[in-house]
Amino acid sequence: ELAKYKGKYWETCQTFSGSWGYYRDETSWKTHNQLLDLLITSTANGGNLLLNVGPTAKGEFDYRANKALEELGYWMDAHSDAIYNCTYAPDEFTLPENLNARLTYNPTARKLYLHLFDYPSTGTITLPNYGGKVRYAQLLNDYSEIQFMQADNNKDIILTLPKVKPPYEVTVIEFLLK
């Protein structure tokens, strides 16, 4: 649905909850995962996300907004390279339909980022048609290497992930491209 905006500058303004201003009795606050999805999906589609926070009558942020901002900040401290200066991935890079993930891309650095919303229980991910395109893969949060090998068809690569999921809601793998 966002394909028509590819290559164009766009921005979306979203709220942390169901209100554009402060509402004490608000109960529909977005989860950390929902906020990350908004941020990553906006970037993966070439857009920018503007998050609206309504201050209280005292001019302060509500404790729920502060908590959400702290959680986003924790994730961004480890993964900002996958958001800042990034946009949609080149068309040659796609994802399997059964993988709950997004791709972002830094065209200047020629780095591709795989955002995993679900950490695979199998410990492996097969990426179609990535063969011969990836020089190195690593977890973005700690730069530890991710082992990968060419599949038998010489088109795909198979990533072998760490047994223990990193301590983040969304795991990011950074690919240095050839």
Determine the average pLDDT of the residues in 6-31: 88
Judged against a pLDDT cut of 90, whether residue 9 lies above it is answered with no
Q: Does one domain contain both 74 and 108?
A: no
State what percent of residues in the chain have pLDDT above 90: 85
66 within some domain:
yes
Q: CA angle 41-46-51, nearest 5°?
A: 55
Q: Does one domain contain both 109 and 173?
A: yes
Residues 26-52 pLDDT 10s: 888 999 999 999 999 999 999 999 999
DSSP 85-124: T-BPPPTT----TT--EEEEEETTTTEEEEEESS--TTSE
Final residue in a domain of this structure, among 37, 55, 82: 82
Judged against a pLDDT cut of 90, whether residue 87 lies above it is answered with yes
Domain coverage including residue 142: 101-177
Judged against a pLDDT cut of 90, whether residue 149 lies above it is answered with yes
CATH number of the domain enclosing 129 = 2.60.40.1180
162-170 long-range contacts, CB within 8 A, separation 24+? 163/123, 165/119, 166/139, 166/141, 166/142, 168/74, 168/75, 168/78, 168/79, 168/141, 169/32, 169/33, 169/36, 169/75, 170/33, 170/36, 170/40, 170/75, 170/79, 170/115, 170/116, 170/117
- Its pTM stands at 0.94
Confidence of residue 2 (pLDDT cuts 50, 70, 90): low
